Amino acid sequence: MRLAGLRRLATVVALSLLGVAAPTSGLAQGSATTDAASDQADQTPSAELRIDEAFGRAWLGASDADVTLVVFADYACPACRTAQPVIDQLLAQDHKLKVVYRLLDNDQGGRTAALTSLAVARQGADWGKFHRALDTASDLTPKTIADAIAASGVDPAKLPHIEDADDPETAALADELSHNDAFINQRNGTAIPAWLIGDDPAQKGFDLPRLQAAIAKARAASKH
């Protein structure tokens, strides 16, 4: 790892240890949206942005999928972690499914992880390895974030200065988080993790049979 990469990673570690406050989407498992979240719903994403179009490599599954499942999740959300095994089951059984992740920073401590994840996704590297390493970690710590970066194969020196809100690359990543907040509010999402397909509202609950039925319905509809 080059010296520049070590310096950037050390600063990210310091930021996490200090517990820097960050904007939140106001969503939690089973909770209603707050006034702050409602205000963010007014931050309408550009018409050029599609909810089912991944940010860089922030997706899992088939590149030639015929159905796209959009998942809203936060690395600091315990319920989001428990949803991933269900998603993995879906992907193992359905080789024409693509899962696009819309990352949020609703829970305290999730912002550094979310920004780093988006930075890795933008590198075109193996984002899936980063995501799985961080999602299966026992907790969000500077070490688990660093380990996830290493798992992805990304050179830390190529990542932006996550701790610097004025850095243009970091600002673009923060904009993506804001867009995701707006997307979930537009689709009437009230809790995370949440999922949707097509033009449907955001749904709670990662029940495997229910998800399979929704995917089958969308697939059948696309053939008519």
pLDDT tops 80 at residue 16: no
CATH architecture type of domain 3-222 = 3-Layer(aba) Sandwich (3.40)
- Report angle CA 191, 192, 196 to the nearest 5 degrees: 95
pLDDT at res. 50 = 92
pLDDT tops 50 at residue 53: yes
Structure letter (DSSP) for residue 207: -
pLDDT at res. 163 = 83
Yes or no: say if 192 and 104 are a contact pair by the CB < 8 Å rule: yes
Name the E strands within 74-169: 97-103
Mean pLDDT of 212-219: 97
Longest dimension (CA), the chain: 56
> End-to-end alpha-carbon separation of the chain, Å?
52
Quote the CA–CA distance of 76 and 99 in Å, as a whole number: 20
pLDDT at res. 223 = 84
Mean pLDDT of 141-160: 94
pLDDT at res. 156 = 93
pLDDT tops 50 at residue 21: no
Quote the CA–CA distance of 153 and 121 in Å, as a whole number: 12
Strand order in the sheet with 59-61: 59-61, 97-103, 67-73, 194-196, 203-204
